Structure 1
Amino acid sequence: MHVVVNAAMSADGKLSSRQRDQIAISGEADFARVDRLRADSDAVVVGVGTVLADDPHLTVKDEQLCHQRLERGEPEQPARVVIDSKGRTPDDAAILDDAATTYVCLSETAPIDRRMELANRAELVTAGDDRVALLRAFAALQEQGLEQLMVEGGGELIFSLFEVGLVDELRVFVGPKLIGGRDAPTLADGGGFIDEFPLLGLERVERLDDGVLLCWTVDSYSSH
């Protein structure tokens, strides 16, 4: 399995405002890049916080890219995955429509009634007691043939994936906008690293729109 984390952040490292409102950070060139990255993936992964805040559809928009997927013998759209420990994904979420297969990863604490409702709209993966055990959940996704995964956020999920060593690449568009706010979400929220820190190898820097695209590989973990 190969996991690519992709995100757009402001010049000061924020994903959105402190009110969790979606803010346009990148432009058309980056939108096209993200669409290509989705088209090259077996699945697009988000946390339930992103679903609740943005209600994303997570589909490939370019019809030519969809056609190319079909020519490769792949489904027209990549699968969609929600990491949702307690089953909070709304029944009418865009990600649950029939445009693509959707997997919802739950923990054992997800209520039975929510499981039943979600089971009508998605494939359910249960892994972990109080919260989704990411290693087990991703192993289950791999068993479904999902090898190339693209993670689109949010910050809590991105941190958790780095914490368990599941990230292979990090691609970040840094836009020409300052958001500010100590409570605004950042690229890697969560508890934060204390003793060991992921080390990244810079592979490519590219000017895009009025910002810059930074592409790293995850090299190792290092103590301070």
Structure 2
Amino acid sequence: MHVVVNAAMSADGKLSTREREQVAISGPDDFDRVDALRAESDAVMVGVGTVLADDPSLTVDDDARRERRRNAGKPENPARIVADSRIRTPTDARVLDDRAETYLLTSEAAPQDFVAEITESGAEVIAAGDQRVDLAAALAELESRGIDRLMVEGGGEIIFSLFEAELVDELSVFVGPTVIGGWKAPTLADGDGFVDDFPELSLRDVDGVDDGVLIRWDVC
């Protein structure tokens, strides 16, 4: 499986405010780029924190891109994946609508009544790991179901966990002309953080987009 992490952050490295409120960091050109990335992917993944904070749909916006997917024999939207160790995803979340297939990655510790409820809401639950999602095992299971190219849209904790598990192949970051500040504001890679054996990146290219900069790296 090829895993592409894509994110937009402020000039000081924040994904949102300290209150976890979404901020318009990028502009129309970057939104279009992200939509194209979604259309090229077999699935789009977020952590449950992103679902709770933003309630994203994770679908392709552009009609022509959806049509090209249909003409290629694919669903018009990529599958949606939520990493949710104990199933906190609300049953009315937009990722559970009928616009695309949805998988919830959870742990064996997830309450079974919640598993049944979320399954009835239309998602397929994949349990991997005792107390938290074993991402390597979960992604291997998804790959066996035909998901070869995975786009990850955040948030910071799931991005860190994927780097920690050495599962990331590419990192694309739009850096916008905004300063958010706040030591409690989420960053690109939250979680415990690395103290050694830092992931190594190889710069692919840098482009001006909207009023910011798009930086793309390959993970060594």
- TM-score > 0.5 by shorter chain: yes
Gapped regions of structure 2 (runs ≥ 5): none
1:16 corresponding residue in structure 2: 16
1:117 corresponding residue in structure 2: 117
Question: Identity of counterpart residues, as a percentage?
Answer: 63
Matches within 5 A, 1:12-161: 12-120=12-120, 121-161=122-162
CA distance in 1, matches of 2:203, 2:72: 31
- 1:60 Cα shift? 0.1
Equivalent residue pairs, number:
219
Poorly superposed stretches of 4+, deviation over 4 Å: none
- Which secondary structure state, in structure 2, belongs to the residue aligned with residue 65 of structure 1? helix
1:190 corresponding residue in structure 2: 191
CA distance in 1, matches of 2:174, 2:85: 28
Gapped regions of structure 1 (runs ≥ 5): 220-224
- Which secondary structure state, in structure 2, belongs to the residue aligned with residue 201 of structure 1? strand
- Which secondary structure state, in structure 1, belongs to the residue aligned with residue 146 of structure 2? coil
- 1:34 Cα shift? 0.2
- Which secondary structure state, in structure 2, belongs to the residue aligned with residue 196 of structure 1? coil
2:168 corresponding residue in structure 1: 167
- Which secondary structure state, in structure 1, belongs to the residue aligned with residue 85 of structure 2? coil
What do residues 96-136 of structure 1 show as CA deviations (whole Å, max 9, x unaligned)? 00000000011011101100011111011000000000000
Q: Which amino acid aligns with 2:145?
A: Q
Q: Which amino acid aligns with 2:78?
A: P
- Which secondary structure state, in structure 2, belongs to the residue aligned with residue 44 of structure 1? strand
2:215 corresponding residue in structure 1: 214
**TM norm structure 1:** 0.97
Q: Which deviates the most, 71-80 or 84-93?
A: 71-80
- Which secondary structure state, in structure 2, belongs to the residue aligned with residue 64 of structure 1? helix
Q: Which amino acid aligns with 2:213?
A: V
- 1:195 Cα shift? 1.7
Q: Which amino acid aligns with 1:46?
A: V
- 1:72 Cα shift? 1.3
CA RMSD of aligned residues (A): 0.5
CA distance in 2, matches of 1:115, 1:136: 19
Q: Which amino acid aligns with 1:210?
A: D
- Which secondary structure state, in structure 2, belongs to the residue aligned with residue 186 of structure 1? coil
CA distance in 1, matches of 2:100, 2:79: 6
- Which secondary structure state, in structure 2, belongs to the residue aligned with residue 207 of structure 1? strand
- 1:178 Cα shift? 0.1
